[in-house]
Chains A and B, each alone.
Chain A
Amino acid sequence: MSITQGVPVPVSATEFKAWLDRASISSSPTALSGLTGLNRGTLSNQLRRGNVAESTVIAVARASGMNVLHALAAFSPYSDIQSRPIAPSHAELLSQIHHADLMAELQFRTSNKHYPRALRQDIPLITFPHDGSIRAWVDSIDPGDIRHRMSEETGMALTYIATQLTENKLNPHLAVAASRAGGVSFVSGLVVTEVITPAEGGWPVRAREDALLETSDDELVDVISARINLLQRKVKQRKEAREYAEKMTELLG
């Protein structure tokens, strides 16, 4: 079933078995479990229900040395995954840089005397996904109505999409739908949601570091400003949550 039709499901078990046959891999749950290290019961359930998780396809591909993107493209929901250039855009890379790293860059640019870049030389950027990184990615590719278009394409409710983003999650179908709506690589969404690794998604080594260095001052300040707004909201929510919890435990405890 295509992700453009109705409510999407993970890849079909029939397609999965046919794909395993073509790759001369046994479709028995025990053999697959031995190959991938995934739980045999989980694999058995997926095959019995007819819906196989994308993570299972990827685990099999990794374990048998296949190209992960080629493996995913063998299934109808992801058949067009390589139809666009797979390299991430500058904005997408920037979206996956933590606000603390963005602010560190701002400090380096402010004064080499007070904030020497050399201090940071051996410390890598904060890894992604980090808190809010998936929302930041969606925002970075948003042409204006991305959430509506994701909802239309996948049949998933806007509230569900909002909940997923709040929890810093996005299922593979929504990630691909977001990429389609944003006109960017279909692979980026799978990378930022950790379905595949940056290397598997064709992200160059040090892609984020290079993007940060290439960012202009005005773009850097704009991104930091946007992130600060999100941070303000998060800090306020945490404060309210703590006050509520304190009130309840004081009144009932």
Chain B
Amino acid sequence: MSPLYYVPVTLMLIVCGSLTFHRLNTPVQGNMKALEGKAQAISASGIFLTLGYLLLIPPVYGVVDQMMPTTNGTDLLSKYLSLMAVALLGGHLSRAYGSVKARRWTVGGPGAIALGLAASGLLWCLATTNAPEQSPQLAAYADQPSVRLYVWFMLAYVAYIVFPLIKPAYLDSRRNPLRVGRIASGFIAAGFAMSFIRALTYPLELAGSGDLLHLYMLASYVSTAFVVGGLALFAYARRTRKPQAELGRSALSID
């Protein structure tokens, strides 16, 4: 298997896993755990995303796939975990950024329908793919039309969730009173924009194959890393009580 596959996946697992572990083990307030605080959806999203990447590590993939009713069912499970991560994150960010439009798209009926369609589409694609051997991300069968559709369903769902969040995240990157908050939202906006652009330019990817395909996938990993990094910066701002430290001083003081 190409290092272009497992190196980025392993790196993403380390980044997501360590940041999620750190988030879960840092009390929000007093003894309140991350999964009990207002940002519990982000913690849950981090767990789903980490598990999704864990399943893609070849040794883990092999073991889990032996327990699956169908070959490469592990990849589908990994995709479902990622879908859940994106759905939870999208709903939470739409509330946090106060975007009515994003909330309308990602939460409630429309959000559930989009999630259902994407999940059903992925299942149908895997069922119609001729993939007798184990292959994480179905990379060995990337030239089959059903696999191409399989990838597109995933990209399209992510694009659907992140598109309405790009503008609110960008606006926060301009108006957040904290510098670290502006940088964090800038990362999130950039990550979302990259994900959206990758979904839009997917037809161009179809012209490529093999190692080139892995390079396109790198764009998704980088965009995910941007979003995860942005959220980690917000966690850092909360831990170090940045709002109180930078804005808690008397507005009258000139010292």
A interface with B by C-beta (< 8 Å): 98, 100, 126, 130-131, 231, 234-235, 238-239, 241-242, 244-246, 248-253
Counting from the closest, the 10 A-B pairs by CB-CB distance are A253-B238, A241-B177, A252-B234, A245-B243, A238-B251, A242-B247, A251-B96, A253-B234, A249-B238, A246-B243
A-B contact pairs, 27 of them (CB 8 A): A100-B254, A126-B254, A130-B254, A234-B251, A235-B251, A238-B251, A241-B247, A242-B177, A242-B248, A244-B177, A245-B242, A245-B247, A246-B243, A249-B178, A249-B181, A249-B237, A250-B238, A251-B39, A252-B39, A252-B42, A252-B93, A252-B96, A252-B231, A252-B234, A253-B39, A253-B235, A253-B236
Chain B residues with CB under 8 A of A244: 176-177
Bound complex: CA A242 to CA B37 (Å): 20
B interface with A by C-beta (< 8 Å): 37-39, 42, 92-93, 95-96, 172, 176-178, 181, 184, 231, 234-239, 242-244, 246-248, 251-252, 254
Tell me the smallest distance from the CB of B216 to a CB of chain A, in Å: 29
Q: Are B39 and A250 in contact (CB under 8 A)?
A: yes
Chain A binding surface, main DSSP class: helix
Bound complex: CA A61 to CA B113 (Å): 72
Bound complex: CA A231 to CA B238 (Å): 29
Chain B residues with CB under 8 A of A239: 251
Tell me the smallest distance from the CB of A230 to a CB of chain B, in Å: 12
Chain B binding surface, main DSSP class: helix
The one of B37, B92, B234, B251 in contact with A248, judged by C-beta atoms closer than 8 angstroms, is: B234
Chain B residues with CB under 8 A of A250: 37-39, 238
Chain A, residue nearest B232 (CB) = A253
* Most A Cβ at <10 Å: residue of B236, B238, B248: B238
Bound complex: CA A234 to CA B96 (Å): 25
Q: Are B177 and A231 in contact (CB under 8 A)?
A: no
Chain B residues with CB under 8 A of A126: 254
* Most B Cβ at <10 Å: residue of A98, A245, A249: A249
Bound complex: CA A128 to CA B78 (Å): 62
Query: Known: A234-B251, A244-B176. Contact between A251 and B38, CB under 8 A?
Result: yes
